Amino acid sequence: MIIRSKAPLRIGLAGGGTDVAPYSDIYGGAILNATVSMYAYATIKPLTDGKIIINSLDKNKRLEFDTTDYLKPDGCLDLMKGIYNRIIRQFTKKPLSFELTTWVDAPPGSGLGTSSTLVVAILGAFSDWLQLPLGEYDLAKLAYEIERIDLGMAGGKQDQYAATFGGVNFMEFYDDNKVIVNPLRVKEVILNELAFNLVLYYTQTSRLSSKIIETQSKNIVDKNSASVEATHKLKEQAVMMKEAVLKGELHKIGDILNFGWQNKKKMAYGITTPFIDELYDTAVKNGATGGKISGAGGGGFMIFYCPENTRFKVIEALNKYGGSSQRYEFVSRGLTTWRI
């Protein structure tokens, strides 16, 4: 028997950063995101030889252990170790023997929620194998706790819920880690046009998002007025984007993205760089009406709204910087598991 799973990566359209504590705990956050046809995959093959084997194919790393009830996080494939440790502690109460193989369609630090989506995919495979009593909210919350609490990795809350639920969602965040996922019923023609006009561009750079997020959180704790006000504006942006998408007012998307980008840059040092600013200016000069960095900032993917047929000119201009545009479609289904 083999258990497989896949969970979709996401594009954050608006409100990014308002899902990060302590802002979400103090003021409440709001985000609009949508899952795309890029995935994190996990395969579990149960073993009977008393071994634990972990294969990360995209990172070209392989670990092997004798079965145990605890795998010590040491900087190498810690996500997998943290998931295993929580599964044993909370559910099975005894060691397991298996081979876990993973792959992610985008590199780490790319801004599409790769780490959290991988956690969801792996949890989904374990849940299917062990028949764990986890609904969608339960699984997403558990993924968040493993990454943010058990492993102490800085970050927000949106990625785990996007990967689990799938689709276009308006998410609300409150204190005590309360999250409400509101699926949006967006007409297919609107999604098709949005995907056509929204260019996803990989800058060929990555970043350690935790450092940016830690600075962002510190600014909120220190009540840095510029940072707090900018984050308030991003929450407003999420509502603006929701209304534009639901009403099919796509001509407003570029301006809404630009509004968010101008404020996001004020949240913390490192969100933008001279290179990112040059890419943004180039896209606008060639027909884009707005855009943003995907994720925490500093590198990875960027998105640009390119109305009519300007996407082709924008892509041609951006490719001169050594990056590449990424083909994708919006997908409505979240975490999926199956058995062979």
Active site residues: 159
Beta-strand pair 51-56/98-104: parallel
Which helix (H) or strand (E) segment holds residue 180: the answer is strand 179-183
Evaluate whether 314 touches 286 at the Cβ level (below 8 Å).
yes
- Residue 77 CB-half CA count within 13 A: 23
What's the rounded Cα separation, in Å, for the pair 269 and 276?
Answer: 13
Going by C-alpha positions, the residue among 283, 330, 328 that lies closest to residue 302 is 283
What's the rounded Cα separation, in Å, for the pair 311 and 198?
Answer: 8
User: DSSP characters for 207-268?
Assistant: --HHHHHHHHHHHHHTT-HHHHHHHHHHHHHHHHHHHHHHHT-GGGHHHHHHHHHHHHTTTS
What's the rounded Cα separation, in Å, for the pair 315 and 75?
Answer: 37
